[in-house]
Structure 1
Amino acid sequence: MSRHLLVPMDDSETARRALEHALAVFPDAELTVVHSVDDLEAAYGGGAAVPDTADRDRDPEFFDDVREIATRHDRDVDTAIVEGTAAEAILEYAREEDVDAIVMGSEGRSGVSRMLLGSVAEAVTRRSSVPVTIVPRGE
């Protein structure tokens, strides 16, 4: 039975480590890398500037890194962009797409936005109906 894993992704080293972990530990799983776009988060400094409507349909530049990492593992990954607050968007995607597990970095944001908006990893872990693996920040 093939497993479907979800790897939430932002432009952080911790998210890349989570992808590397998922590819190495689950070699036969179907992987979907998902990035959430949230106007509120961007307004509070948690991400890039709020993208134009036309730009929302384009993959973020770091998806090129995602594909390169997958290629190094001789794998393909699916990618998706979802809208909404990160934790809500991740959990909704996991429910709608029958995801079996989530593998994510322990932190992506930092500074003021993390204090104002809370930890995405913590919120996902607390509210997920599927197992969540948290990959720690590397030293």
Structure 2
Amino acid sequence: MYQNVLIPTDGSDGTRRSIVHGLTIAERFGARVHALSVVPEGPLGTLESEEATPAAHRAVEHVESEARRAGLEVATAVDHGVPHEEILAYAEAESIDVIVMGTQGRTGLDRVLVGSVTERVVRMADVPVVTVRLIDDVRIEESAEAERLAREALSDARTEYDPDAPIADGPHRISATWIVLFETEAGIVRVTVDAASGETRLENGE
């Protein structure tokens, strides 16, 4: 029924559930996952900064990592423009069968922009749009706490991992998930910390 599932993401905490739902749908139908992040420009306001484009790449890389962990094929893209226009254009160009996205951001400007984007996509899309209400509460808000939990996971995983290993990148939070990359003698080790539950996961390589 579905061969291509599009998950638009900006890496904000509110996208956590839409990613989970999108991957679940893709698993059910053996579909290919498409992760798209749009750096906003135009009528919705220009939000681009020095950090915006790298953050967009991290957002789609997070979906890619989760999709590959689930054994799914995945494609990623980062575009610049008016978010709903770019999402609709991508859906048409890539023969997307269903779009999965959140109904609103959590607070402030994010709430206005994300809700507005979803509303326009729902109204204008030629394919089904699954909207996911965003109600997760983030418990791990401080990077220091995320690093502490990540180091505990590193220490518990294998004795050859030095719990005091230097950080190669992070901690940074993407879709309510903290990501920390450690430099170890065995190579780069990626540790994720779920900001809602506090659960950790360790992966070799990056």
Q: TM-score, normalised by structure 1?
A: 0.77
For residues 35 and 72 of structure 1, what CA distance do their matches in structure 2 show? Answer: 20
The correspondence for 1:127, drawn from 105, 124, 129, is 124
Q: Is the 8 A contact 1:14 1:135 kept in 2?
A: no
The structure with the greater share of residues assigned to strand is: 2
Kept after mapping to 2: 8 A contact 1:42/1:48: no
The answer to which structure, 1 or 2, has the higher relative contact order (CA under 8 A, 6+ apart) is: 1
Mapped contact 2:32–2:72 kept (Cα < 8 A): no
The 5 Å alignment of 1:81-120 reads 81-108=78-105, 110-112=107-109, 115=112, 119-120=116-117
Q: Which runs of 5+ in 1 are unaligned?
A: none
User: How far is 1:114 from its partner?
Assistant: 5.1
The answer for the alignment partner of 2:35 in structure 1 is 33
Q: Is the CA contact 2:68–2:74 (under 8 Å) kept in the aligned structure 1?
A: no
Q: Which runs of 5+ in 2 are unaligned?
A: 137-206
> TM-score scaled to structure 2, two decimals?
0.54
Distance 1:116 1:59, change over 3 A: closer
| Cα offset, 1:67, TM superposition | 2.7
Q: 1:24-70 CA deviation, whole Å, 9 max, x = no partner?
A: 13311111000112334563xxx451669xx68x9622333223322
Contact 2:105 2:113 in 1 (8 A): no
Amino acid at match of 2:41: D
Query: What is the percentage of aligned positions where both structures have the same residue?
Result: 33
| Alignment correspondent of 2:151 | none
- Runs of 4+ residues deviating >6 angstroms: none
User: In the comparison of the two structures, how many residue pairs are matched?
Assistant: 133
Alpha-carbon distance, 1:77 to partner: 1.7
**2:146 corresponds to which residue?**
none
1:73 deviates by 2.1
Structure 1 residue aligned with 2:74 = 77
Pairwise CA RMSD: 2.9
**Higher-Rg member (1/2):** 2
The answer to whether the 8 A contact 1:33-1:77 is kept is: yes
* Structure 1 residues 2 and 103: CA distance shift in structure 2, 3 A: closer
